[in-house]
Amino acid sequence: MRAHLLILLLALLTSCAAAFQIPWEALPFASRLQSAVFDKLYWAASPAPQTKVISLRHVYHQGTVRYPGLSARLDLGDGSISASSSDSNNIRGVLRTKRVKTWKPRDTRDYLHAHRNGDGIGIKSSLNDMDWDEIEVDAPDVQDRETLLTLAKMASKAYEEPSKKGDGDWTIGGKQEWNLSSSFGWENDGIRGHVFATEDNSTVVVALKGTSAALLDNGSTSKRDKDNDNLFFSCCCARVGWTWHTVCDCYEDGQKAQSSAASLSPGSSSDQQTCGSTCLSKALIKKSFYYPATTDLFNNISYAYPNSQIWITGHSLGGALGAMLGMTFGNPTVTFEAPAERMAALRLHLPLPTKHGKLHELPITHVYHTADPIPMGECIGAASLCANFGFAMESRCHSGHTILYDTVEKLGWSSSVVTHRIATLVEDLLLEDWDKKVSKAKAKLNNKTETSRWRFPWSRKDQDEPDEEKVGSVPRLRSEAKCRDCSDWKFTDDDGKDSVGLGI
């Protein structure tokens, strides 16, 4: 009834504007009324939210350094994955979808084979021959808070270890016979992904485990994770200071290139640090065991669910690896507090559909907040918050789109590595609409300052001062297309050409 009245009022207002030749934007409340009508029509035409039971079906594991080629799958049917977990593997939550455009490569076999073997020439050759299909798929409605909350709970579940730990409970694949009874290799080496599915298997969600730092879980894989974090997300091999153990030698190559350039051009100097861009690309391709292992894990899952719509999610490193999968295969991806992965993706020469669209148009969404220094790219230098833990998380630019919660300005939070926990997003941000949380924080601040209603410079805050515009249940989508990584570095390629920033 209310929607019909709004439509009649909008029609009457439109007729009056046409009769008296009054510009539409000059009418009072015109745009606000039009927006309200469109909102009512949208929700009236939209189907009722469908509550689905998302069950944890499998735990997949892919070996990396110690057990290369290992593929393991644990099928879950008894309803518990750890003593600390809830009584059920089911996550009951709202999953709203929307149709989005994406690009899928027709055949990635040659490309992935070259990546698995560290063949840089083969990677570039396969990319040149790659064909793409532009398609529409169902994707998570990332502007719906309850959908984000459901996905974040899945990302959190990925940190829980399965209670079944006997070799007989796992289906083991690979070309070798694995003797894991003593070491149980997939706990200390590899990539772990939890597979959730709806009751009809129409939608499958792959949740990738993130970095196992001490503040996140038991730290069983933290050494491998830290090496890959520093390789992926530092400007140049985790060269933070002279006391740091670097993960590749490209900084020294850059010094040599700088010295050669100085000898050719006497008197020239540069205040910027120098790094070899070709060296960086080769190092990531040869040393980043996590990317090829993640693609192998994803191929195993997609083979098991050939007719399902597969989404990807993950927290921290798991989110960054998930975004790289989203780029490689064109699948919708939602990450939580993931370090910026665009720089690593370009250095790895991922199969990006740049001929068909922009990188920020891919169906990839990153959710994080301003008090988390890791996705914000604030872990720069030996005095940074992350350096105390041995991490050089210096990248700043994400692919796709971003949902950024401004917890520093709106809620008064302080920047801290502790806020990087997935529980912070789930319990402190996603359980309540963002505009309501901001309003409560503002009211709390006003109560503290109620005793003094005068503000510098000598102006009075009136009771009828308009409130700031509401931002909705989640912050608006934004693009980081204009973001620039590592602008304080100079990168030199094999031809002796210099470039500032990124280093690809």
pLDDT in tens, 275-303: 888 888 888 888 878 888 899 999 999 99
Q: Is residue 408 part of a domain?
A: yes
Which backbone phi and psi does 157 adopt, to 5 degrees?
A: -60, -30
Which pLDDT score, from 0 to 100, does residue 329 have?
92
Q: Where are the alpha helices (DSSP H) in 215-360?
A: 222-233, 250-264, 277-287, 290-304, 317-329, 342-347
> Is 346 found in the same domain as 378?
yes
Q: Which two tokens stand for residue 195?
A: 């597979």
Please state the length of the chain: 504
Same-domain status, 247 and 138: yes
Q: How many domains does the chain fold into?
A: 2
Residue 25 belongs to domain spanning: 1-46
Tell me whether residue 463 is in a domain: no
Report how far residue 231's alpha carbon sits from residue 238's, in angstroms, rounded to the nearest whole number.
7
Decide if 460 is inside a domain. no
Amino acid at 411: L
With beta carbons less than 8 A apart as the criterion, state whether 397 and 484 touch. Answer: yes
- Decide if 456 is inside a domain: no
3-state helix, strand, coil in the chain (%, to 5): 35, 20, 45
On whether residue 149 sits in a domain, the answer given is yes
Of the candidates 308, 340, 307, 345, the residue with the CA atom closest to the CA atom of residue 326: 345
Residues 272, 376 within the same domain = yes
**Cis amide linkage into residue 49, ω under 30° from 0:** no
What is the pLDDT, as a whole number, of residue 448?
Answer: 60
Tell me if 458 is assigned to some domain: no
Intervals of the chain under pLDDT 50: 24, 37-46, 78-87, 180-186, 213-221, 254, 257-258, 261-270, 356, 451-469, 495-496, 498, 500, 503-504
Are 203 and 231 contained in the same domain? Answer: yes
Q: Are residues 37 and 57 in the same domain?
A: no
pLDDT of 325: 94
117 plus 149 within the same structural domain:
yes
Are 353 and 334 in contact by the 8 Å Cβ rule? The answer is no
DSSP classification of residue 15: H
208, HSE (Cβ side, Cα atoms, 13 Å): 36
Task: Give domain status of residue 457, yes or no.
Answer: no
Do 7 and 29 fall within a single domain?
Answer: yes
- pLDDT for 464 equals 40
For residue 32, the tally of other CB atoms under 10 A from its CB is 9
- Alpha-carbon gap, residue 241 to 201, rounded angstroms: 50
In single-letter form, the type of residue at position 420 comes to H
In this structure, are 355 and 432 located in the same domain? yes
Pairing between β-strand 132-140 and β-strand 97-105 as defined by DSSP bridges: antiparallel
b vs e for 158-177, b when ≥16 Cβ sit within 10 Å of the residue's Cβ?
Answer: bbbbbebeeeeebebeeeee
Q: Token pair of 205, please?
A: 């969600």
pLDDT of residue 1: 52
If asked whether residues 226 and 349 sit together in one domain, one would say yes
- Tell me if 187 is assigned to some domain: yes
What does the longest C-alpha to C-alpha distance in the chain come to?
A: 86
Report pLDDT digits (tens) over 365-422. 999 999 999 899 887 777 777 777 777 888 999 999 999 999 999 999 999 888 999 9
Whether 147 and 39 share a structural domain: no
Q: Are residues 85 and 130 in the same domain?
A: yes
- What was the pLDDT predicted at 272? 62
Amino acid at the residue 386: C
Closest C-alpha among 417, 371, 401 to residue 474: 401
Closest CA to 494 of 120, 76, 42: 120
Copy the structure tokens of residue 328: 């490689």
d(CA 459, CA 495): 61
Is residue 268 annotated as a catalytic residue, yes or no? Answer: no
Backbone φ/ψ region at 29: left (φ over 0), alpha (ψ -120 to 50), beta: left
Asked whether residue 2 falls in the same domain as residue 123, the answer is no
DSSP state of 451: T
Q: Among residues 424, 355, 467, 323, which one has the least CA distance to residue 130?
A: 355
pLDDT at 15: 63
* Model pLDDT, residue 336: 97
Which entry of 55, 156, 316, 384 is annotated as an active-site residue? 316
**Of the candidates 44, 46, 63, 64, which has an alpha carbon nearest to the alpha carbon of residue 1?**
44
